[in-house]
Structure 1
């Protein structure tokens, strides 16, 4: 991709998501000096220099000299005053985000794109204190965003179509998959799907049907690889043979309905947590995210290679 020599990106928040986005943007910007990071933590520069390299594959991490070119902002006005894109990945606090965007709006260029990486706070609520509510757009990643292609674009009813189009063009040109949702909904789409599976997983473990590790192995050995190739609708459409999804439901719709009827009704705070949390700690301890990221990269590479092969 042609690297825009004039593009300046500001990231607000240097937690896991913020630095993951930093790693992604660094691979597409002409120089680390085009990236600005603002975070109120007192040891920000040391935190970035020690943590950011872990988001890159072994051997591909930028040098300390290169990372030192990243601009560290010590105030919000200085962080956003010359930015073309401002991407926020701060705490999930609605009052904080409402105040933040009002401040950003006062100091950022009028045509700067304003994106929130929130996991569940809609743009319509975040923009309440902004003068121009058309500017704000939720750009929700699937963790870790420096690897996962998906970006859910969740506009408020006020978000400008131009903001959506420019955002789609930005991510598409960088090989990502920006999907615009038609309306705001709690948790957006990817999280709702993931949390629905998590709820049933908790129910099955809590009921003693299966253990935490066995359930993970079931997913890793079935739905995991299948869904890397085709989502649920395409998968079950294929499962119906020549009659497609309609044929699938005609064949085993009764079993599907029975599972839906018996789906777990567990809720956070119901008392299942102690046992499930204990099993997760016993099975996994601290998860090796470097291994996770390495394998995930390779899975995505293979899927893309095979799709290109099929188009030849």
Structure 2
């Protein structure tokens, strides 16, 4: 019988860590947060207040949310009673290597040790650890208290028991864990996101379209489609009754020609400054808080609509054993 998940430690109180803390607390867990930032108490209070409405929209009871989130003076205090640790520190191998060596030493033996790493596989920063069986990636999409996907990526020495417990843990939070069986920098979601971002930057650099117009194209076509089907199912349906085979046979060659013409952004300092200025011109009239709140409510509305028609998140079929 596995240990229940009643206490969580959140290491790192940036945007992702604070979002995790709110989600954990909304599911009744006691949460201990640690971060060296001097405004930690204020940041936690502000994040919990901002997350309350989106969490309530998901049917969670947010009463007493702040009473379940506690500040820890250091990592040792944060993890001493933890059933699960969620690390959200810098994308820095040295930092993670040192931190997880400490976590293996001071966290309870049953505690899962999870990293929100966006690009660095756990095998890279667990090299040299005596025991890496409890360490693996639990990479969310921002903000994790709204977006259901969590990429669960075991390292070379992660035990199958830990993988199963991580899946169980994230499912208990209403998330959709997807186990990825081969480590690769950036995992799956960020690699896909960065492929699109690279071409988006190139199109803006070339003067084909502005940032706001490009966003309109994505929101009103690809984003709308991808809220319900992924790229492969979309292509399968796009092939008509002949499915993906028809699509590949009849427009595969033209797609190859387009792939060959995809751009490589220059991103010189001058190009970067122009791009930053264009994005600020498009969206700088509203604050980060206003834009993020609008995003959260819209994404929850989309999720609610999809769940209302399908009874579960889009594409939430069970994974086949690997």
| TM-score, normalised relative to structure 1 | 0.91
Aligned to 1:49: 45
**Is residue 297 of structure 1 aligned with residue 300 of structure 2?**
yes
Once residues 220 and 54 of structure 2 are traced to their aligned partners in structure 1, the CA distance between those partners, rounded to angstroms, is 27
Once residues 308 and 222 of structure 1 are traced to their aligned partners in structure 2, the CA distance between those partners, rounded to angstroms, is 24
Judge which range, 163-172 or 230-239, deviates more.
163-172
Aligned to 1:105: 104
Judge which range, 294-303 or 275-284, deviates more.
275-284
Give the C-alpha shift of residue 266 in structure 1.
Answer: 1.9
- The answer to whether the Cα contact below 8 Å between 2:151 and 2:177 also exists between their aligned partners in 1 is yes
Once residues 311 and 124 of structure 2 are traced to their aligned partners in structure 1, the CA distance between those partners, rounded to angstroms, is 41
Once residues 277 and 199 of structure 1 are traced to their aligned partners in structure 2, the CA distance between those partners, rounded to angstroms, is 14
- The answer to whether the Cα contact below 8 Å between 2:148 and 2:174 also exists between their aligned partners in 1 is yes
Give the C-alpha shift of residue 6 in structure 1.
Answer: 6.6
Give the C-alpha shift of residue 66 in structure 1.
Answer: 4.7
Aligned to 1:156: 155
Aligned to 1:78: 77
- The answer to whether the Cα contact below 8 Å between 1:150 and 1:177 also exists between their aligned partners in 2 is yes
Aligned to 1:246: 245
Runs of 4+ more than 4 Å apart:
58-63
Give the 3 Å change call, closer, same or farther, for CA 42–129 of structure 1 in structure 2: farther
Give the 3 Å change call, closer, same or farther, for CA 86–198 of structure 1 in structure 2: same
SS of 1:74's equivalent in the other structure is coil
Give the 3 Å change call, closer, same or farther, for CA 157–115 of structure 1 in structure 2: same
What is the CA deviation profile of residues 239-278 of structure 1, one whole-angstrom value per residue up to 9, with x for unaligned ones? 0011111101222223211210100122544753122211
SS of 1:131's equivalent in the other structure is coil
What is the CA deviation profile of residues 258-300 of structure 1, one whole-angstrom value per residue up to 9, with x for unaligned ones? 2101001225447531222111110111441100110011001
- The answer to whether the Cα contact below 8 Å between 1:99 and 1:129 also exists between their aligned partners in 2 is no
C-alpha RMSD of the superposition: 2.2
**Is residue 88 of structure 1 aligned with residue 91 of structure 2?**
no
Once residues 266 and 230 of structure 2 are traced to their aligned partners in structure 1, the CA distance between those partners, rounded to angstroms, is 26
Gaps of 5+ in 1: none
**Is residue 222 of structure 1 aligned with residue 225 of structure 2?**
no
**Is residue 25 of structure 1 aligned with residue 21 of structure 2?**
no
SS of 1:134's equivalent in the other structure is coil
